[in-house]
Amino acid sequence: MKALVLTGGSGRNLVPFSATRPKSMCVVAGGSLLKRMLGHLRQAGVTDAIIVLGPNGSRISEAFGSGEDLGIKLTYVTQREPGIANAIRAARERFNPGEYLILAYGDVVTSENPFFQLLQSFNAFKGPVATVGLPGPPTGRYGNVYLSGTRITRIVEKPTSSNLGNYVLAGIFILPSEVFTHVDRAEGDMVRVFNRLLETTGIDASLWEQGWIDVESPWDILAANRMVMDTWDQAHIASAATIEGNVALHGPVRIEAGAVIKSGAVLVGPCYIGRDCYVGNNSLLRNYTSLGARSIVGYGVELKNCVLFGNSDVGRLSFVGDSVIGESVDLGSGTVTINENLDHSPITVEIRGEAIETELVKIGSFIGDEVKIGVGNKLAAGAVIPAGTIIPHDATVGAKRS
């Protein structure tokens, strides 16, 4: 069975990271969302996947190529119009009439591999299957599902609070090739597509009771990173990593080849140190830190519950907490990300001009690719810094005096 993986969503609310990459190329626990999903497909025996690309799609095709490194054959199509229905329509020529396909949204993260259970459910029901999960707040973000036994009876897309079901669509399905016909007739309305399938072939539910997150907002990256790392129960240190004396390691710490950990550093797991990273003397990397490849952490830095996509430099004596840092970011010495309000009230983040109440009391900064922040700066809780921004040094040397 072939897989159809959708990666063309614009990620409107995932700024500043979606400005320079598809949502599925955001990073958690040392790997992109898409790489994690493709790995799960391959583990479940799927060897052929079609990836639907959208804006910045070349980043995906360049990263994964033919899929040889992952052991899965990858081909690509590009959707010309936005929307899930148009993404599905773009791939119709890659599937034969009468065959079933795995449909997966590329921005979904699960704690474990969901495709084993999905395929088992398909073999048991001998028909279309949708993975459904237990809802987390706010449930109105997702298509709500109503069940009779295992059979789905109704799907309501993003319902009001008075019309919530007990389960939600988790973005992973096995569907017949008739879905392409229904997409054409539904004029791009996926709820109509699913309801038409309910009327014709029916859809059974594969209940996923483990963790899953649809990454829509910047802070969802942190939640997904924690969810994945919470499944780690063992440390892993590559033989080609260099760890000097007087380094303290606690819990499931993963360190990749080429990484250098200098004397006096303390690493508290779960945390991840990518390939060819450098962690300076007396630094503290607390739990849920994910350090992407080729990142540099200077002397005396403290990192906590943060994701660095990679190739970034955190200057000495800085603090980065509850934050997401894009690629090729330079944080000057003494940079501090403030991560809470003084009254411990929930933090509001401005996304595309709209103030969004996160319901979270600990949020730092969300910093886009190739940002340069000068020495001694403090970033407010919930700060969103667009890609390419340059923030000068907070310095007074040489300044004129009145």
| 345 and 298 in a common domain | yes
Alpha helices (H) along 147-217? 179-185, 190-200
317 belongs to a structural domain: yes
The residue behind tokens 């933090």 is 347
| 77 and 200 in a common domain | yes
pLDDT for 394 equals 84
CATH number for 190: 3.90.550.10
Last residue of a domain, one of 216, 249, 280: 216
124 belongs to a structural domain: yes
Over residues 334-370, the pLDDT tens digits come to 999 999 999 999 999 999 889 999 999 999 999 999 9
* Residues of the chain with confidence (pLDDT) below 50: 138-140, 398-402
pLDDT for 401 equals 42
> Do the bridges between strand 365-367 and strand 383-385 make them parallel or antiparallel, or are there none, so unpaired?
parallel
399 belongs to a structural domain: no
| 269 and 121 in a common domain | no
pLDDT for 400 equals 45
- Bridge-partner residues for 327, per DSSP? 310
Separation in Å, CA 178 to CA 38, 95, 98, 313: 24, 10, 8, 50
**Residues 87 and 6 sit within 8 Å (Cβ to Cβ):** yes
pLDDT for 134 equals 77
Classify burial at 62, counting beta carbons within 10 Å of its beta carbon; exposed 0-12, middle 13-18, buried 19 or more: exposed
- The DSSP H or E segment spanning 89 is helix 84-90
pLDDT for 140 equals 47
| Residue ranges making up the domain that contains 347 | 236-391
Over residues 373-386, the pLDDT tens digits come to 999 999 999 999 99
Q: Which residues contact 209 (CB under 8 A, 6 or more apart)?
A: 133, 134
| 190 and 57 in a common domain | yes
